[in-house]
C-alpha cells in the first residue's frame, strides 16, 4: 500500500479524462506510476512517467523504435523488469523515450519504446535514472476498475 | 518520527529493542532533533534489516539516515560469514559511490583570479550529465582488466600515480573481484562511461578550507585554512547500476528457496555461502573496482586542468572513501575477533587510529572521513575514531541527506536564479541542466553541520576541517 510519506505530486490527464501517469514523492528519490483501462496501458503510462523524471516527455520526438522483451515470475516483477529494460536502453543507447506500447501474455511482455538520442541543449535532462527498485512496487486494480502500476526509482 | 518509538542510550544514541521478527536491536546515532526529523520509514526499514538471518549485534542508522529502498540510506549491518546473508539491496544500485579529496598547494587568494577559467576548463574536461561519454572506450579485454584492477589498473594506464593508491580503500584494488559474473548488459552500459561524473547528487567541486577544527589532525592530513582542495563525488556508473538491478532481482526471486522471508522485496538477499551470494560478491567487488577506476580517471583529468590553468600539477590525494559497499572485515564482537560481511549503504567506513588496513602515514591518526555537501553547502573532513569500532563496526555518516523531494525543490527554486545567487556568493556553478541544478538546490538538503556534530557526539568520527565551495561542476 502507499505509505503516508508517499504522495502523488504530479499528474497528467488524458483527453477523455482521468489521470494517466505521475510521480510519487520518496525521501531521496522519486517514484513513477501509470494508470489505464488495462494493465498494458498502466505499464505504458508508467513509461511516460519514467521519461518525465529525466525531461518533459513532449520534448522527446518519437522518431526511432526500440523493442524490449521481459519475462518474470509475477506481474510486479514484470513491471520492474519493463522499467529496468527501458532504463537499460536509455543508458546503453543514450536515448530518451516518450511513447510506449506494451503487449502482455501471462507473465511475458513484449514492448516497444519510441524516442530519440539525447540532445542536451534541447532535452535539458535533469538526472539519469539508475534503476527501478522493488520499493512501493505494486500492480493492482483500483476501485474504479482502472489498473495502476508503480514503484520507486533510484536517481 | 515520534521520540516514543526509541529509547535513549547515551548521547546521540537511540535503541529499539528486538520485537516481532527482529533478531537484534536497532541502534540510531543522531541528535534528538535529527531523530524527530527522520522519516518513520527509516525505523521500519532498520527493523526489517534487524530481522535478516545471521545479523550481528544490531542494525545501525547513521545521523544522516533517511528512507531508502530495502535498507535505509545511512544504514550499516554486519553478517556472520557462516550463517549470514549478503544483500544486493543492502549495497544499493550505485555500488561504491564515494568521495575523494585532492589537496592543492594553492590558497583561495591565489585561485580567485583564475576561478572562472578553472571552472570552465573543468566543465569542458570532465564529461557530466545524462548521455555523456568518456574519452576512453573499453573493449571486452579492457573491461575485464579494469574490473579486476580498479584504480591500480587506471594508474598503470597513466591515470594518476602510484602514490595515490595507498590513499584509496583497499589500496585502490578490491580483491576477490570476479569480472566473469558481470553481465554483458552491465558491460555495454559501461563501455563508454569511464571517467564520467554522472548526474543527480554527483559533483566535482573546488573548495577551500574555511575552518580547522583540530590543528594536529589537520596537519597530519596536510590541511590548512585558506587552502584550495577538490572533491570528486561519483560512483560505478551504468555498470554498477546494472549489477545491482540484476542481482537484486535474482535474490528476490530465490529468497524463498533459501528459506528467507523478506518483509520488503527490496531487502533481497542470499546466504553468503550460496551460489548467487558468491557470484554477487564477485560482481559487486568488480563494481567497486569500476568506481575506484572512474574516480582515478577523473582525478587525472582534474590534475591536467589544474596544470594548464594554474601551473600546479601536484594535487595530492588525501583519501578516497566508498559509500555503498559490502566488505569482509574483522571486528571484535563480545570479546572475540570475527570475520563479518559489513554492509554500508550510504555510510562511510571510518577506521580509527592503529587500524592495520590504513597506510603507514595515516595509521597513527585514523582514516580521513569525507562528508560531502555541494553547491551552497559545506563539506567536512573528519577522522575515524577508536570507539567507532565498537559503536558501528567503524562506520560514520556520508552526507547531509535530502529534506525536500525533487518536486518540492522544482516548485521552490529556479535553476537560473540559483546559479546567479550562488555566483553573487562567490560560488560558480557549471551544469548542462538548469532543472538538475534546481532539483539539487542547497536548500533541498539538511544541515550538514548537525549531522557532523551528531557523528562527533556519538563517537563515530572526529571533526578535522570545514570546507566550503568555490566552483561546482554538476551533472
For residue B429, is it within any domain?
no
B398 touching A (Cβ < 8 Å): no
Q: Which three cell numbers stand for residue B116?
A: 572562472
If one counts the domains in chain B, the total is 1
Cell digits for A119?
540532445
Q: Using a CB–CB cutoff of 8 Å, tell me whether A9 touches chain B.
A: yes
Across the interface, whether the CB atoms of B436 and A118 are under 8 A apart is answered: no
SS3 (DSSP) at B334: coil
pLDDT digits (tens, 9 = 90+) for B418-468: 999 999 999 999 999 999 999 999 998 888 999 999 999 999 999 999 999
The answer to whether residue B399 sits within a structural domain is yes
Residue B353 DSSP class: T
Q: Tell whether B410 is covered by a domain.
A: no
Cell of B198: 554522472
Of A4, A23, A88, the CB nearest to B407: A23
Count of beta carbons in the 10 Å neighbourhood of residue A56:
13
B216/chain A closest Cα distance in angstroms? 36
Answer for the pair B258, B270: CB distance below 8 angstroms, yes or no.
yes
Q: Is B355 a catalytic residue?
A: no
B250: contact with A, CB 8 A cutoff: no
With respect to residue B420, please indicate whether it lies within any of the assigned structural domains: no
Q: Which among A81, A125, A131 has the least Cβ separation from residue B241?
A: A131
Q: Which domain holds residue B349?
A: 3-403+445-474
* Residue B189 to residue A135, Cβ atoms within 8 A: no
User: What per-residue confidence (pLDDT) applies to A13?
Assistant: 54
B365-390, pLDDT tens digit by residue?
999 999 998 788 999 999 999 999 99
Residue B389 confidence (pLDDT): 93
Q: Residue A73 corresponds to which cell in the numbers above?
A: 515470475
What was the pLDDT predicted at B76?
98
3-state SS string for A69-80: EEECCCHHHHHH
How high is the pLDDT of residue B88? 96
- Strands B461-474 and B428-430, by their bridges, are parallel
- CB of B94 within 8 Å of a chain A CB? The answer is yes
What pLDDT score does B400 carry? 86
Which DSSP letter does residue B444 get? G
Residues B197-246 pLDDT 10s: 999 889 999 999 999 999 999 999 999 999 999 999 999 999 999 999 99
Q: How far, in whole angstroms, is CA B225 from its chain's centroid?
A: 25
Distance (Å) from the alpha carbon of A118 to chain B's nearest alpha carbon: 6
Give a yes or no: residue B414 inside a domain: no
Interface test with A, best of B192, B249, B262 (most A CBs within 10 A): B249
Cell numbers placing B125: 574536461
Tell me which of B208, B398, B407, B462 is the catalytic residue.
B398
Along the 155 residues of chain A, how does pLDDT read in single tens digits? 333 334 444 556 554 446 799 999 776 678 999 999 999 999 999 999 999 999 999 999 999 999 999 999 999 999 999 999 999 999 999 999 999 999 999 999 999 999 999 999 999 999 999 999 999 999 999 999 999 999 999 99
Q: What is the CATH number of the domain that holds B243?
A: 3.90.1860.10
Has residue B178 been placed in a domain? yes
Size of interface A-B (CB pairs under 8 A): 140
- B434 falls within a domain: no
The pLDDT of residue B440 is 92
Say yes or no: A2 contacts chain B, CB-CB below 8 A. Answer: no
Q: Choose from B131, B269, B414 for mutation: most chain A CBs within 10 A.
A: B131
Q: Could you tell me which CATH number the domain at A8-154 has?
A: 3.55.10.10
pLDDT digits (tens, 9 = 90+) for B293-345: 999 999 999 999 999 999 998 999 999 999 999 999 999 999 999 999 999 99
ipTM above 0.90, yes or no: yes
B428 burial type by CB count under 10 A (0-12 exposed, 13-18 middle, 19+ buried): buried
Q: What is the pLDDT of residue A18?
A: 63
Chain A residues touching residue B266 (CB < 8 angstroms) = 133-135, 137
Cβ separation A128–B68 shorter than 8 A: no
pLDDT digits (tens, 9 = 90+) for B108-118: 999 999 999 99
The domain segmentation of chain A, as residue ranges, is 8-154
Burial (CB count <10 Å: 0-12, 13-18, 19+), residue B311: exposed
Give the model confidence (pLDDT) of A30-52 as tens digits: 899 999 999 999 999 999 999 99
A92 touches chain B (CB under 8 A): yes
pLDDT of residue B213: 98
Averaged pLDDT for residues B151-162 = 98
Mean pLDDT of B399-413: 88
Residue B130 has pLDDT above 60, yes or no: yes
Cβ–Cβ under 8 Å, residues B447 and B34:
no
Are B130 and A125 an interchain contact pair (Cβ–Cβ within 8 Å)?
A: yes
Q: Is A11 on the interface with B (CB under 8 A)?
A: no
Instruction: Write down the pLDDT at residue A4.
Output: 33
Question: Is B143 inside a domain boundary?
Answer: yes
Judge: B133–A94 Cβ closer than 8 Å, yes or no. yes
Amino acid at each position: 500500500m502507499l505509505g503516508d510519506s508517499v504522495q502523488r505530486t504530479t499528474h497528467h490527464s488524458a483527453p477523455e479524462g482521468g489521470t494517466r501517469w505521475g510521480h510519487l514523492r520518496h525521501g531521496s528519490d522519486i517514484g513513477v506510476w501509470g494508470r489505464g483501462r488495462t494493465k498494458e496501458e498502466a505499464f505504458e503510462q508508467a513509461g511516460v512517467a519514467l521519461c518525465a523524471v529525466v525531461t518533459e516527455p513532449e520534448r522527446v520526438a518519437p522518431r526511432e523504435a526500440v523493442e524490449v522483451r521481459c519475462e518474470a515470475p509475477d506481474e510486479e516483477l514484470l513491471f520492474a523488469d519493463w522499467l529496468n529494460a527501458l532504463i537499460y536502453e536509455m543508458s546503453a543507447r543514450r536515448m530518451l523515450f516518450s511513447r510506449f506500447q506494451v503487449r502482455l501474455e501471462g507473465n511475458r511482455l513484449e514492448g516497444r519504446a519510441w524516442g530519440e538520442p539525447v540532445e542536451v541543449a534541447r532535452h535539458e535532462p535533469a538526472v539519469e535514472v539508475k534503476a527501478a527498485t522493488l520499493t512501493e512496487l505494486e500492480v493492482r486494480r483500483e476501485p474504479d476498475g482502472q489498473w495502476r502500476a508503480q514503484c520507486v526509482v533510484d536517481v | 518520527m515520534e521520540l516514543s518509538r526509541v529509547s535513549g542510550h547515551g548521547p546521540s544514541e537511540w535503541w529499539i529493542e528486538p520485537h516481532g521478527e527482529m533478531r537484534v536491536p536497532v541502534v540510531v546515532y543522531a541528535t534528538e532533533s535529527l531523530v524527530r526529523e527522520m522519516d518513520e520509514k527509516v525505523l521500519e526499514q532498520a527493523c526489517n534489516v534487524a530481522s535478516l538471518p545471521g545479523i550481528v549485534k544490531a542494525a545501525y542508522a547513521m545521523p544522516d539516515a533517511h528512507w531508502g529502498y530495502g535498507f535505509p540510506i545511512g544504514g550499516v549491518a554486519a553478517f556472520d560469514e557462516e550463517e549470514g546473508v549478503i544483500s544486493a539491496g543492502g549495497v544499493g544500485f550505485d555500488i561504491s559511490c564515494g568521495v575523494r579529496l585532492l589537496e592543492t598547494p594553492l590558497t583561495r587568494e591565489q585561485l580567485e583570479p583564475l576561478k572562472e577559467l578553472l571552472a570552465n576548463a573543468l566543465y569542458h574536461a570532465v564529461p557530466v550529465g545524462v548521455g555523456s561519454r568518456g574519452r576512453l572506450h573499453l573493449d571486452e579485454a579492457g573491461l575485464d582488466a579494469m574490473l579486476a584492477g580498479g584504480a591500480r589498473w587506471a594508474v598503470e594506464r597513466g591515470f594518476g600515480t602510484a602514490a595515490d593508491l595507498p590513499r584509496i580503500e583497499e589500496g585502490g584494488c578490491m580483491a576477490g573481484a570476479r569480472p566473469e559474473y558481470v553481465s554483458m548488459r552491465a558491460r555495454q552500459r559501461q563501455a563508454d562511461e569511464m571517467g564520467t561524473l554522472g548526474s543527480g547528487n554527483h559533483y566535482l567541486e573546488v573548495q577551500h578550507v574555511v575552518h580547522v577544527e583540530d590543528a594536529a589532525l589537520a596537519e597530519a592530513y596536510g590541511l590548512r585554512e585558506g587552502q584550495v582542495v577538490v572533491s570528486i563525488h561519483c560512483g560505478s556508473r551504468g555498470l554498477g547500476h546494472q549489477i545491482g538491478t540484476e542481482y537484486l532481482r535474482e535474490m528476490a526471486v530465490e529468497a524463498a528457496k533459501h528459506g528467507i522471508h523478506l518483509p520488503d522485496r527490496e531487502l533481497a538477499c542470499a546466504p553468503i555461502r550460496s551460489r548467487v551470494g558468491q557470484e554477487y560478491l564477485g560482481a559487486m567487488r568488480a563494481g567497486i573496482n569500476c568506481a575506484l577506476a572512474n574516480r582515478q580517471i577523473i582525478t587525472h583529468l582534474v590534475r591536467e586542468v589544474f596544470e594548464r590553468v594554474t601551473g600546479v600539477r601536484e594535487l595530492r590525494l588525501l583519501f578516497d572513501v566508498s559509500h555503498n559497499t559490502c566488505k569482509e572485515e574483522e571486528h571484535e564482537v563480545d570479546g572475540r575477533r570475527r570475520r563479518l560481511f559489513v554492509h554500508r549503504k550510504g555510510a562511510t567506513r571510518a577506521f580509527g587510529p592503529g587500524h592495520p588496513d590504513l597506510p603507514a602515514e595515516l595509521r597513527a591518526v585514523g582514516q580521513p572521513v569525507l562528508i560531502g555537501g555541494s553547491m551552497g553547502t559545506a563539506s567536512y573532513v573528519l577522522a575515524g575514531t577508536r570507539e567507532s569500532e565498537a559503536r558501528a563496526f567503524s562506520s560514520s555518516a556520508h552526507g547531509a541527506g535530502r529534506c525536500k523531494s525533487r518536486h518540492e525543490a522544482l516548485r521552490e527554486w529556479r535553476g537560473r536564479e540559483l546559479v546567479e545567487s550562488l555566483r553573487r556568493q562567490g560560488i560558480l556553478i557549471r551544469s548542462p541542466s538548469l532543472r538538475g541544478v534546481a532539483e539539487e538546490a542547497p536548500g533541498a538538503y539538511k544541515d550538514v553541520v548537525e549531522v557532523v556534530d551528531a557523528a562527533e557526539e556519538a563517537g563515530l568520527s572526529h571533526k578535522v576541517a570545514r570546507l566550503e565551495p568555490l566552483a561546482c561542476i554538476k551533472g
